[in-house]
Amino acid sequence: MTLMAILQDVDKCMRCNGCVIACKREWNMKLPTALDSTVIPQRSVVGPSQRLAIKSQKRVDMGPFVRFTCWHCPSPPCAAGCPYGAIVKEGTGAVSVDVNGLCDPDTCRVKAGYPTNTGPKPCEIECQRGGYPKVGVPYEGTTAPKMNKCTLCTGKAGADTDPNLNAAKSLPTRATAAEIAAVPEKAHEPACVSSCPAKAMKWDTRDNILTYLNDSANGFTLPDGTKGWLGNGSMFWASKKTVLAPPKADPFIEDHIAPMTASMLSGLGGKMLVPTLVVGGLAAIS
């Protein structure tokens, strides 16, 4: 397998939300049935039935428009936090989820050592990017709660037994036959990439993307060495115009809940001393 990645050129994004719609269609995700079931009024920018969101980096909705999604970390802490081992770092770089077999959000907190199953799930707490894993009822025609997040469309890149995929919508590619022969993972592009009319997203090997970003001729590295890009794992963002802030699913969880929980867990008594009222209650105010 080849280590792949997505690059979003923030300067090109016009927030048409084509990528968001394509992702929901590809994975048969539920549509909102009420205003309070959308991600718009919530603090978190993603939800159980929405794997990515395009959001302005500034408070005024005038751009730059940044993709908010899982970073696909090199050593994903969410995978280490899952007591069922349902989260896996693939050879392609994707952090995928076995939602049909191992994943059991109803019991994972207690299995991980927390006193009750009420509150944020271990994968959400452990995520270092604000809790991109979300638990809910993500798919049409299902009622069981599952964890959901971006998987770089891993279901189309090897794990083709996932029944939640929309088999009628095959993923296209812009790669040539020679490119596919050299890198088989280029035989598809994630739905978000192939659907972008502005070509603001790029699907390529991680090495190629890093080479592209570090080439000063492309304008993402200033003469003083300052980077106009950020990212890690298999997700990168770049801009020639704007200093980018790391896209967090929920800044409150990353900046407050996760550090507080980690501190409590490292103290005497371990996980049994974590106050469910604090961890669960603070998340409930979102």
Q: In the chain, where are the structural domains located? A: 1-286
Match 């029944």 to its residue by tokens. Answer: 163
- Segments of the chain scoring below 50 in pLDDT: 39-42, 157-161, 258, 262, 265-266, 268-286
> Is the CB of residue 108 less than 8 Å from the CB of residue 121?
yes
Q: For residues 226 and 244, give the distance between their C-alpha atoms in angstroms, rounded to a whole number.
A: 12
For residue 235, what is the DSSP state? E
- The pLDDT of residue 11 is 94
- The pLDDT of residue 155 is 65
This prediction has a pTM of 0.80
- The pLDDT of residue 264 is 54
Q: Which of 123, 121, 117 is nearest to 81 (CA)?
A: 123
The widest CA-to-CA distance across the chain, in whole angstroms, is: 59
Q: What is the CATH number of domain 1-286?
A: 3.30.70.20
Contacts of 181 (CB under 8 A, 6+ apart): none
Q: How crowded is residue 254: how many other Cβ atoms within 10 Å of its Cβ?
A: 17
Match 């790669």 to its residue by tokens. Answer: 175
Query: Residue type for 213, please?
Result: L
Write the CA distances from 284 to 42, 144, 253, 278, integer angstroms.
11, 20, 11, 10
